[in-house]
Amino acid sequence: MRFGRAKNGVRRMLAVGAAALAVSVTGSGVVATAAPIRTPAGGFEELMVPSSMGPIKVQVQWAKRGGGAALYLLDGMAAREDKNAWSFETNALQQFAEDDVTLVMPVGGLSSWYQDWISPSNTNGQKLTYKWETFLTKELPNFLAGYGVSKTNNAVAGLSMSGSAALQLAGYHRDQFKYAASYSGALNISAPGMREAIRVAVLRWGAYNIDAMAPPWSPQWLRMDPFVFAPQLKGLPMYISAGSALPGEFNRPSNVGQVFDTGVGMGIEAVTLLNTRAFQYRLNSLGIPATYSFPPTGTHTWKYWEAELFKSRPGMLAALGVA
């Protein structure tokens, strides 16, 4: 098995290298050209992608038939450094296993909101400055293009922290993203009390200072707020969801700790529901349509987002032309 994996890796390296070095001879000399590369057909891989933040791990499930379409799945506030939670908290890989779309799951970004921060956080000794928007819209798509992944035929989905980021990425990078989905996202972050709530959250997960991300009510902050940049979303297919904050089928606490976690999940979901409903009214006032889902139960937990991903999947595939 190790030898087989090594052979496959060598083949892919040779294919990428051959494409990068391909040349054509013309009357005026030798001119470098970009030979077409097909996305590996099916399978799972972990890539190390260069960035201004250093190498970033990206988990990838390749399109079943080697097509170029891709779905970026963004992680939540507590993003880990070893795996993107979509890959182990949900059945996302199985949901798209037979589809001709590559799943792109960046790893890391704890409390980053997937933003380009203005400076390193001064409350936790951070050495680098988060530059996640740059990574997701420039460095990563440029790298994946070497594997045949399209830079223009992508969808993006996020939950909680990354719900607003998914809409922001699609809203400001329409040439890259054709579809966006937000599950339990903070979609009205300039509402009263929201900045303070986010300040507490980023302190809780990683001891980050929100002021290093964007100064209060600055252009950088307002650029992050879906309620503010909503006009940018006109014409973009979107799926927007939030649970009712009432426990449902995926809440079965069996001890005191789980009861506490359920209560926390109810509280957070109640906030994101208010945010999402406000955002819905904002889009309606602008005459911008979207697909909405407000199930009668659902707290701020992964299994509910797994279910919403499944419901949004047909729209994603249709927008990418791979349905």
Residues taking part in catalysis: 160, 269, 300
Contact of 184 with 305, CB cutoff 8 Å:
yes
Enter the tokens of residue 153. 């035929």
Tell me how far apart the 2 most distant CA atoms of the chain are, in Å.
77
Q: Is 84 exposed, middle or buried (0-12, 13-18, 19+ CB in 10 A)?
A: buried
Helices assigned H by DSSP within 239-298: 256-286
Residue 27 corresponds to which amino acid? G
Phi, then psi, of 283 in degrees rounded to 5? -60, -40
Taking the alpha carbons at both ends of the chain, their separation in whole angstroms is 34
Best CA proximity match to 189, nearest among 158, 168, 212: 168
Report the residue count for the chain.
323
Strand partners, 46: 59
Residue 53 CA, distance from chain mean position:
17
3-state secondary structure of 73: strand
| Long-range CB contacts (within 8 A, 24+) of 34-43 | 36/148, 37/146, 37/147, 37/148, 38/66, 38/148, 39/63, 39/66, 39/67, 39/68, 39/102, 39/147, 39/148, 39/149, 40/12, 40/66, 40/147, 41/65, 41/66, 42/97
| CA atoms of 272 and 188, how far apart (whole Å) | 9
